[in-house]
Amino acid sequence: MSLKEEHAYCCHVEAEPDGKPCYNNIKMYLERWEYPEGITNGQKKSIPRMANCFFLNKEVLYKRTPDLGLLRCVDVSEATKLLEEVHAETCGLHMNGFVLAKKILGAGYYWMTMESDCCKYVQRCHLC
């Protein structure tokens, strides 16, 4: 099926292969100060560096912004709902992927592949 033949509702954030959120390694590191099993030495160096940009409040992980704000990290199902709801709001079909990502950030939400997911979603929606 080509890109033009797909409906916009088929274009959602891709699920993580292991069923855990993409930020799970960072969350585990901040909760227990330990690494997941089977990671490489390079990953052991990058996880603490990345964790500096995040804040864990009980079970909820937040990403710190340069202006000291906090963005709530969401999983695949929440990200999909956000894409659909925010895109269907005021701008409708006139919104591009970068504007959609900016609106979601402005609403206080974040996921690691947000910008590319927003661009893909808008592109497929506009081709319908």
> What does 2-48 look like in DSSP terms, one character per residue?
-GGGS-GGG--PPPPTTSS-TTHHHHHHHHHS-PPTT--HHHHHHHH
pLDDT at residue 8, rounded to an integer? 38
Query: Which of 92, 98, 88, 103 minimizes the C-alpha distance to 118?
Result: 98
Give 43's contacts (C-beta < 8 A, 6+ positions apart).
25, 35
Whether 5 is covered by a domain: the verdict is no
Whether 128 is covered by a domain: the verdict is yes
Are 127 and 82 members of one domain?
yes
More confident residue, 95 or 121: 121
- For the chain, the domain total comes to 2
Whether 8 is covered by a domain: the verdict is no
Residue 77 has pLDDT above 60, yes or no: yes
Residue 74 has pLDDT above 90, yes or no: yes
Whether 10 is covered by a domain: the verdict is no
More confident residue, 87 or 40: 40
Residue with tokens 């069923």: 19
Q: At what angle do helices 24-32 and 41-51 cross, to 10 degrees?
A: 80
pTM (two decimals): 0.75
- For the chain, what percent of residues have pLDDT higher than 90? 34
Its domain, for residue 99, covers 74-128
pLDDT at residue 56, rounded to an integer? 94
pLDDT at residue 12, rounded to an integer? 46
Are 90 and 118 members of one domain?
yes
Domain's final residue, options 33, 61, 89: 61
Residue 93 has pLDDT above 60, yes or no: no
Whether 1 is covered by a domain: the verdict is no
Are 78 and 34 members of one domain?
no
